[in-house]
Structure 1
Amino acid sequence: MRIGLYPGTFDPITNGHIDIITRGAALVDRLVIGVAINRDKGPLFDLEERVAMIEPVIAALSEKTGTEIIAHPFENLLINCAHDVGANVIIRGLRAVADFEYEFQMVGMNRALDSSVETVFLMAEAKHQAIASKLVKEIARLDGDVSKFVPSAVRDRLLDKLGKPKA
Structure 2
Amino acid sequence: MTTAFYPGSFDPMTNGHLDVLVQALNVASNVVVGVGIHPGKAPMFTFDERADLIRQCLFDALPTRKADVSVVSFDSLAVDAARQFGANLLVRGLRDGSDFDYEMQLAGMNRQLAQDVQTVFIPAGTASRPITATLVRQIAAMGGDVSAFVPAPVLKALTSRQNA
- Normalised to the residue count of structure 1, the TM-score between the two structures is 0.90
Q: Which runs of 5+ in 1 are unaligned?
A: none
Root-mean-square deviation (Å): 1.8
Is contact 1:53–1:154 with CA below 8 Å preserved after alignment?
Answer: yes
Q: Deviations over 1:97-143 (max 9, x none)?
A: 12122212211111111111100101101110001111111111111
Q: Are the structure 2 counterparts of residues 97 and 138 from structure 1 closer, same or farther at C-alpha, using a change threshold of 3 Å? A: same
Deviation at 1:10, TM superposition (A): 0.2
**8 Å contact kept, 2:11–2:43:** yes
Which residue matches 2:70? Answer: 70
Secondary structure of the structure 1 residue equivalent to 2:34? strand
Unmatched segments (≥5 aa) in structure 2? none
The share of aligned pairs that are identical, in percent, is 37
Q: Does 1:127 align with 2:155?
A: no
* SS of corresponding position for 1:145: coil
Distance 2:91 2:67 in 1: 15
Superimposed CA distance per residue, residues 8-61 of structure 1 (whole angstroms, 9 cap, x where no aligned partner): 000000111111011110111111111111234432112111112112223344
Q: Which residue of 2 aligns with 1:36?
A: 36
The amino acid of 2:8's aligned partner reads G
The structural deviation recorded for 1:65 is: 4.6
CA–CA separation in structure 2 for the residues paired with 1:34 and 1:62: 19
Q: Distance in 2 between matches of 1:54 and 1:45?
A: 12
Residue 104 of structure 2: aligned partner: 104
Partner of residue 6, structure 1: 6
Number of equivalent positions: 164
Residue correspondence of structure 1 range 1-167 to structure 2 within 5 A: 1-65=1-65, 68-161=68-161, 163-164=162-163
After superposition, the C-alpha distances for 1:56-77 in whole angstroms (9 at most, x for unaligned) are 2233445345770111111111
Cα distance in structure 1, aligned partners of 2:108 and 2:31:
22
Aligned equivalents of 1:65, 1:97: Cα separation in 2:
31
What TM-score results when the alignment is normalised by the length of structure 2? 0.92
Distance between the aligned counterparts of 1:75 and 1:64, measured in 2?
30
In structure 2, relative to structure 1, the CA distance for the partners of 1:36 and 1:66 (3 Å cut) is closer
CA distance in structure 1 between the aligned counterparts of 2:96 and 2:38, rounded to whole angstroms: 22
Cα pair 1:15 1:149 within 8 Å, conserved: yes
Matched residue of 1:26: which SS?
helix
Q: Distance in 1 between matches of 2:105 and 2:53?
A: 30
